[in-house]
Amino acid sequence: MLSVATPYSWHSSNNWGTNMIKNGNIDSIGGMEFATFRLKDGVTEARLIELSNNVEADFLSQQGELILHLLVRGADGIYADVAIASSQEKAEEYCQQWLDNTVALEYLELLEKDSVNMTFWTRIN
């Protein structure tokens, strides 16, 4: 069954007031997409979160084998978009579909293109 997780509200300096997609259980995980990136000059983290929420609501929530989607922030202005699916092939398929989705394309416009490093992974245990 497909569901979108309820908002998480953290009232700390982490500012984790975002939604995320969380479906299935850990046994369903077969593959993932992990993409690191920087934001273009002038783009705020708040705007990134806003558009990520839009992508989840208008696009990713329709993907039946997407188990988890979230954003994380690392050091020095690096972010990662993580999508976990039933298989690496599904993760790749969903990633490719971003290029045909208006809301997803708007999100991608926030990213510094030369900074994007996208990799795909298969679960092995």
Averages of pLDDT over runs of 10 residues in the chain (125 residues) are 30 43 76 97 97 94 91 96 95 95 97 97 94
Tell me how far apart the alpha carbons of residues 30 and 34 are, in angstroms, rounded to a whole number.
14
pLDDT at 25: 67
SS3 93: helix
Residue count of the chain, please give it.
Answer: 125
What is the token pair recorded at 70?
């979230």
Name the CATH code of domain 21-122 (choices 3.30.70.100, 3.30.450.20, 3.20.20.70, 3.20.20.60): 3.30.70.100
Amino acid of residue 43: V
The values of phi and psi at residue 48, to 5°, are: -60, -45
pTM assigned to the model: 0.79
How far apart, in whole angstroms, are the C-alpha atoms of residue 19 and residue 59?
14
Task: DSSP for 41-62, please give it.
Answer: TT--HHHHHHHHHHHHHHTGGG
